[in-house]
């Protein structure tokens, strides 16, 4: 039996029952909460590894719960919602969520997203950092600073930035980036990638509409560039 515990937060008992059956059959331990107050209490008491959080909860909304538990919970938070609009996904990511899955979904897709978010808990990445005028990316500490100020990135945003920065100057296809960060089953999920890139640019670029670090590679994907004025001159 797995030692991974998933906190399932949903006010619908039938959905909780169905998901509990599927998750436990795949080796996960499951804790449950039917509203925001129970979710916050469960995070403190159960210390889950993953939170699967419904957007529409009675009383405290899913976004409020997400913001509240993100302050004390470092693990992955996956938002579940019937809403598929871009602004809903952006709100969820801004609130601290790592991923967003739209109802109805196949259990296989949910399990794949859980596996993908769990992979970040034991990342196999070199200990290094990128220091540029006005921008610091510390891979080991998973920290970003812009103009000397700490920038809050969600785990998913940091993973995307890290992978792009590690391939500095090289185009990375949408498919490759999605597979490396979200998982091998998500090579075609370009909408979620576009939302994360948009949020990253808002957080690290001086002018998100005209980015200088995260550039679009037409018809291909994205690349991380060091602005020419920031590059060190070649050694004599």
pLDDT of residue 160: 93
pTM, whole model, 2 decimals? 0.59
Angstrom distance (rounded) from CA 137 to CA 161: 9
Angstrom distance (rounded) from CA 205 to CA 211: 6
> Quick one: what percent of the chain has pLDDT higher than 70?
92
CA nearest neighbour of 78 among 88, 93, 64: 93
* Domains of the chain, residue spans: 5-119, 129-230
Report the half-sphere exposure of 127 (CA within 13 A, side-chain side).
Answer: 2
Mean pLDDT in the chain? 86
Tens-place pLDDT, residues 3-56: 789 999 999 999 999 999 999 999 899 999 999 999 999 988 888 999 999 999
Architecture of domain 129-230: Orthogonal Bundle (1.10)
Tens-place pLDDT, residues 106-153: 899 899 989 888 876 554 444 478 888 889 999 888 899 999 999 999
CATH code of the region 5-119: 3.40.50.2300
pLDDT, mean of residues 207-232: 84
What is the CA 108 to chain-centroid distance, rounded? 19
């Amino acid at each position: 039996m797995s030692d991974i515990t998933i906190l399932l937060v949903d006010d619908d008992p039938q959905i909780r029952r169905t998901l509990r059956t599927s998750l436990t059959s795949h080796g996960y331990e499951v804790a449950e909460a039917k509203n925001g107050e129970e979710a916050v209490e469960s995070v403190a008491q159960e210390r889950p590894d993953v939170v699967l959080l419904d957007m529409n909860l009675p009383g405290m909304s899913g976004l409020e719960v997400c913001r509240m538990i993100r302050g004390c919970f470092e693990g992955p938070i996956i938002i579940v919602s019937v809403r598929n609009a871009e602004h809903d996904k952006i709100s969820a990511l801004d609130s601290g969520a790592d991923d967003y899955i739209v109802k109805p979904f196949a259990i296989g897709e949910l399990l794949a997203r859980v596996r993908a978010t769990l992979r970040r808990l034991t990342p196999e990445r070199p200990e290094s950092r990128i220091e540029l005028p006005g921008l610091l990316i510390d891979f080991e500490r998973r920290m970003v600073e812009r103009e000397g100020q700490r920038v809050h990135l969600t785990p998913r945003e940091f993973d995307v930035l890290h992978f792009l920065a590690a391939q500095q100057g090289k185009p990375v296809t949408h498919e490759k980036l999605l597979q490396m960060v979200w998982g091998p089953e998500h090579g075609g999920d370009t909408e979620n990638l576009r939302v994360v890139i948009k949020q990253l640019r808002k957080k690290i670029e001086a002018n998100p509409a005209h980015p200088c670090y995260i550039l679009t590679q037409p018809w291909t994907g994205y690349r991380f560039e060091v602005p020419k004025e920031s590059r060190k001159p070649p050694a004599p």
